[in-house]
Amino acid sequence: MPELPEVEVVRAGLAPAVTGATVLGVSVLDERALTRHSGDGLHFEAALTGRRIVDAARRGKFLWLPLAGASGGEPGEALVAHLGMSGQILLREPGAPVERHERVRLDIQHPEHGDLSVVFADQRTFGSLAIDALIPTPDAAPGGWGTTAASVPAQVAHIARDALDPAFRDADFRAAVARKDSAIKRVLLDQSVVSGVGNIYADESLWAARIHPESTAKSLSTRAVNRLLADVRAILEKALAEGGTSFDAQYVNVNGQSGYFSHSLNAYGRTGQPCPRCGRPIVRVSFTNRSSHFCPHCQKAPKA
């Protein structure tokens, strides 16, 4: 389940291998991986073949590779990737066997590293690739991590900056939370408010901040919102340092290796186990087609 730390690990692994590389060939094995692309598989292959990759950038859970323009000019388009729930981007030797659930393969040539294959594999097909236009950022700040260019793919423009982004504005986040009449967990999962947080890190952040997931966002004090934001940052940074979270084979870095943050979880996936803070059992409840894990003692339910 790739969230910000997992996607950043993939981006960081991908960047040195693809920056400056030229796409020699593209194979689309399953067009369901192109649901965000405006054309079909043939269009995708033709539009990408021969292009030079300039960067590897990320905002929230979206990853994109800006493509040099005609005659090597400024990028006007990018290859955009979203891993969905089970997407993987793997670096393989040229001619490597087809991966299980492989959807798209790019054969690239790097001036220093030689030939490589970039494989997009996705079991549940929630992830996707697309070629999309780059548009200027409204705040003129870099579009995301890994790039200095003040541009972002059009389909990522509505995604807020993530809490680790230097251009993230705490005041805007506080104002958005103060306007929301819905549960704070729903707000944390709203990528147009703050990006990169998914079900795992939402549960962990709320546990750390001692806030019940169903507390109404606008009922929280400024102090509580500040504490929550600080905890979101601390948890994302820790997860990033540990290579992300992995419960199964669905999340791996570009070399196919898993992260270690699952060993550091305090609430998510620990139903019935003692809360590391108070010792009472963690509970799991159904929440908007998801599961919420929290400590009912440390995270008091909102008053009815």
Told to check if 154 binds DNA by CB under 7 A, we report no
Q: Where are the alpha helices (DSSP H) in the chain?
A: 4-18, 41-48, 170-179, 184-189, 199-209, 222-241
218 labelled catalytic: no
The span from the CA of 89 to the CA of 104, in Å, is: 10
- CB-nearer residue toward DNA: 222 or 288: 288
Contact between 1 and DNA per CB under 7 A: yes
| Catalytic residue status for 142 | no
Geometric angle at alpha carbon 210, from 276 and 266, rounded to 5°: 30
Spatial strand order of the sheet with 128-136 comes to 57-59, 62-67, 77-82, 128-136, 151-153
Site for DNA in 204-243 (CB under 7 A): none
The DSSP code for 161 is P
Residue whose CB is less far from DNA, 245 or 299: 245
Catalytic residue selected from 3, 8, 102, 214: 3
For DNA, the closer of residues 60 and 142 by Cβ is: 60
Token pair recorded at residue 173: 């986040």
How far apart, in whole angstroms, are the C-alpha atoms of residue 69 and residue 72?
A: 5
Distance of CA 140 to the CA centre of its chain: 22
Selected binder of DNA within 200, 225, 229, 232 (CB under 7 A):
200
204 is catalytic: no
In whole angstroms, the minimum distance from the beta carbon of 51 to DNA comes to 23
**How many residues form the binding site for DNA (CB under 7 A)?**
36
Instruction: Please report, as ranges, the residues that interact with DNA according to CB under 7 A.
Output: 1-3, 32, 36, 60-62, 82, 84-85, 101, 123-126, 155, 158, 179-183, 186, 189, 191, 198-200, 268, 284, 286, 288-291
